[in-house]
Amino acid sequence: MGVVRATWDEIQLLARLIRAEAESEGKLGMLMVGNVAVNRVRADCLDFKFIRTLRQVIFQSPGGFEAVQKGYFYQRARSGEIRLARKVIRGERYRPATFSLWFFKPFTGGCPPQWFDQWNAGRYKSHCFYHPTASTCPGVYRW
């Protein structure tokens, strides 16, 4: 049982997404990208008010994932990424992406304390993770 519903096709899409967005960050980095995707389905706030499925999250435009929008979301899902996708769908969370709805890779320097009015939750390797406040987006904090 997962914290979000997922068809086999959506598991494959999430696995492709985490590979495209964070393969160079290793398993933990890919798990964190998966956390962000699952959090967006659960959030029901801000840019994700009407997002209800992983397919909608993955293909959201505007405001979606760079890998999908810029064309490097083309590689097939491998068994390792499928296992990682299933972990985050089951509700496993990894810091600093625990409650994050956004991440980005800064060109230089550290992570700004805020990004589009969202607070920095921390950094993992080259990605900065950002989460909303509980009052702005309580859905992401409930499981």
Tell whether domain 8-141 is in CATH 2.60.120.10.
no
**Amino acid occupying residue 125:** K
Mean pLDDT value across the chain:
93
Phi, psi of 95 (to 5 degrees): -75, 145
| Tokens 């996708």, located at residue | 85
User: What are the domain boundaries of the chain?
Assistant: 8-141
Encoded tokens for 114: 């805020």
Query: How do residues 22-64 score in pLDDT, each as one tens digit?
Result: 999 999 999 999 999 999 999 999 999 999 999 999 999 888 8
Please tell me the predicted confidence (pLDDT) of residue 100.
97
Query: What does the DSSP assignment read for 106-122?
Result: -SSSS--SEETTEEEEE
> Would the CA dihedral through 141, 65, 23, 38 be positive or negative?
positive
What proportion of the chain, given as a percentage, has pLDDT over 90?
A: 80
**What pLDDT does 92 receive?**
96
